[in-house]
Amino acid sequence: MRTPLIAGNWKMYTTPSEASAWMRGLLEDLQSQDVSNVELVLNVPATHLAVLAPIVADTAVALGGQDVSAHAEGAYTGELSAEMLVDAGARYCVVGHSERRQYHHEDDALVRGKVLACMNGGLVPILCVGELESERDAGEHEATVIRQLTGALDGVEISKSEDLVVAYEPVWAIGTGKTATADDAQAMGAVVRSFLKGRYGPLADGIRILYGGSMKPSNADELLAKADVDGGLIGGASLKRDQYLAIAAAAPR
Ligand code: 13P
């Protein structure tokens, strides 16, 4: 049984001090909510990690980054290495988010470099894949996701299922209020699982596949009940504590 991963992606919202207050509030709320069946991760802006790390130490909450350099170190102004993120408190890192692909022109080869940088530096990558609306309309959603996975995982080896998380995020559902139906999310989760089986054999059974795109308390139940939806990568709703916790509560036990 895969432990559901309820991962927030805060994108470029909140300041470190706002985030500290938010996190203390979450830990208080968790005193009256049993989340032992899920893993909670918040992928926050990098400036927040070292501030939040002592607050979440020895709690059920883990932290992640939202991007990482493909390089281990060097003259790369503005970049952050996996080692820096780990030292600041991150255990996970979102890689290849569609907003990075779109606004920062990240291609599959660069995303692959970032996946490897995570693995070499001690971070678990949350590898994002997903099709544009035009690709879905053209019936190319499966081919798009398989192409992204093929490029990003070319030559990438794992020794255990926990080394990798994949998030299926249809671009047309991100921040739009449009959600893939639970059946569509499951169908694409199964496509991802089948690719991973071909690539990693039995280890694929333990790899978590998340759904992302306008996930909220009102649709989380149905999405999280699907066999190949092992959690969520949640944007807007993860900034609201009550909504984030309501999504966690919707995960199967
Ligand atoms: P929303 O939940 O705001 O649609 O964002 C999804 C997302 O991009 C998570 O990475």
Amino acid type, 244 = Y
d(CA 92, CA 127): 10
Ligand 1 and 215: CB distance under 6 A: yes
Query: Could you confirm whether 97 is annotated as catalytic?
Result: yes
How many whole angstroms separate alpha carbon 188 and alpha carbon 184? 6
The pLDDT value recorded for residue 14 is 98
Is the beta carbon of 223 within 6 A of some atom in ligand 1? no
Q: What is the pLDDT of residue 1?
A: 77
Residue with CA nearest ligand 1 atom 7: 235
The model's confidence at residue 247, banded by pLDDT at 50, 70 and 90, is very high
Of 160, 149, 230, 231, give the one whose Cα is nearest residue 202.
160
Instruction: Give the percent of the chain with pLDDT over 70.
Output: 100
Respond yes or no: is residue 105 known to be catalytic.
no
Q: Over pLDDT 90: what percentage of the chain?
A: 97
Report how far apart, in Å, the C-alpha atoms of 75 and of each of 14, 107, 134, 150, 175 are.
Answer: 29, 21, 38, 29, 34
Domain 5-249: CATH superfamily is Aldolase class I (3.20.20.70)
Q: What is the pLDDT of residue 249?
A: 97
The reported pLDDT for the residue numbered 189 is 98
Report the separation in Å between the CA atom of 217 and the middle of ligand 1, taken as the mean of its atom positions: 14
pTM above 0.75, yes or no: yes
Spacing, Cα 8 to ligand 1 middle (Å)? 8
pLDDT confidence of residue 177:
87
Separation between Cα atoms, residue 1 and residue 81, nearest integer Å: 32
pLDDT digits (tens, 9 = 90+) for 4-45: 999 999 999 999 999 999 999 999 999 999 999 999 999 999
User: Quick one: pLDDT at residue 178?
Assistant: 85
pLDDT tens digits, residue range 151-196? Answer: 999 999 999 999 999 999 999 999 898 888 999 999 999 999 999 9
DSSP 207-223: -EEEEESS--HHHHHHH
135: pLDDT strictly greater than 80 = yes
Q: Which of 44, 94, 214, 244 for mutating ligand 1's site (highest number of atoms within 8 Å of CB)?
A: 214
Convert the pLDDT of each residue in 63-109 to its tens digit: 999 999 999 999 999 999 999 999 999 999 999 999 999 999 999 99
